[in-house]
Amino acid sequence: MGWFWADSDVSVVNARGAPHAIPKDNTLSPPPGCPMHQSSAAVAKPPTPPAESACPYTPADLSDSKAPSKYSKYNPLNYMFSDLTQDRAENQTVALPTEREPSTIPKGNGEGNWEYPSPQQMYNALLRKGYTDTDATAVESMVSVHNFLNEGAWAEIVEWERRFGRGWGRAWEICKRGEQASMASASLGANEDEVPQPKLVRFMGRPKEMTPKAAMYQVMGWIYPSAFATEPPFDRHDWFVQREYKGQKKEVRYVIDYYSGPDDTDGKPVFYLDVRPAVTPTAAVERLMRWGGDVWYRGSGAQLREKQDA
């Protein structure tokens, strides 16, 4: 996950759905060689040079070093190679596209949208990481899966911001009507033109740092396997999003757990995303408000009363 390039301008277009189709090849899964799957923990132990990571995270002790860091060659917003070539790799037998697909995710500096790498760039990045056994014929499908999941994650973040981007009073008016009703109600805040839309400032991959929620699910799966058994998430990201309200800008950190599920009836791969704001005093209220509003709506019989009044 998290393959973005930020060196070209693309017009900002916000969408709530993920427009990219998942590849039909059910043998595919997000590649373990993806640079965004590298551990951020491995980055923080100088002077021994760690393996190169694609996460946009630079530990404080590295920034204080007098010697030039090899991380200076990366884009600090996404920690990807800034000079990754589109040239065909040595001994590459399959031609890969060099076109780069624009995302629907606006950049924090307001200069267009983030952009995904081309299959050729992704293949070159994997080779530079040392994954020389990467199957070049699978790279296009890898890119499609990554793009699809990133778009899905952003759609979830946009929905959180639609609810809470204009204060708690407005948020409760949305949340108290339950998940289904509030998702469908444009009159309570779905108009994108009413308020500046969120922007992705930067992100970091932390695949080996399990979130407390994911860890709790693993414990519950051990205690109650029939109800909670699930594989651990195969990736975790932290996305830093700019929220603007009444001229004030605020940075909100979102946590994303990526899960894979059983293939669907057509044999296509299935993925689940758990997207929520990271736990802070403010975010805890927002999470409780959204969950509690849905419980209240269903438990109080409001849904039944609305149907009777209709």
For the chain, domain boundaries: 35-309
Model confidence over 44-59: pLDDT tens digits? 444 444 444 444 333 4
Determine the Cα–Cα distance for residues 116 and 147; give it in Å rounded to an integer: 7
Mean pLDDT of the 182-203 span? 67
Q: In Å, how far are 32, 58, 69, 294 from 63, measured between CA atoms? A: 28, 7, 8, 45
Mean pLDDT of the 31-54 span? 45
Nearest Cα residue to 96 out of 124, 74, 77, 73: 124
On the question of pLDDT at 295 being above 70, the answer is yes
Determine the Cα–Cα distance for residues 15 and 29; give it in Å rounded to an integer: 25
pLDDT at 81: 57
Nearest Cα residue to 112 out of 122, 121, 102: 102
pLDDT at 218: 92
Backbone phi and psi for residue 248, each to the nearest 5 degrees, phi listed first:
-100, 130
Note the pTM of the prediction, 2 decimals: 0.70
pLDDT at 77: 58
On the question of pLDDT at 182 being above 80, the answer is no
Cis, bond preceding 262 (omega within 30 deg of 0): no
Model confidence over 238-292: pLDDT tens digits? 999 999 988 889 999 999 999 998 888 888 889 999 999 999 999 999 999 999 9
Determine the Cα–Cα distance for residues 203 and 43; give it in Å rounded to an integer: 15
Backbone phi and psi for residue 26, each to the nearest 5 degrees, phi listed first:
-80, 0
Backbone phi and psi for residue 251, each to the nearest 5 degrees, phi listed first:
-100, 125
Nearest Cα residue to 30 out of 275, 272, 276, 216: 272
Model confidence over 71-127: pLDDT tens digits? 455 555 554 556 678 888 888 889 999 999 999 999 998 889 999 989 999 899 888
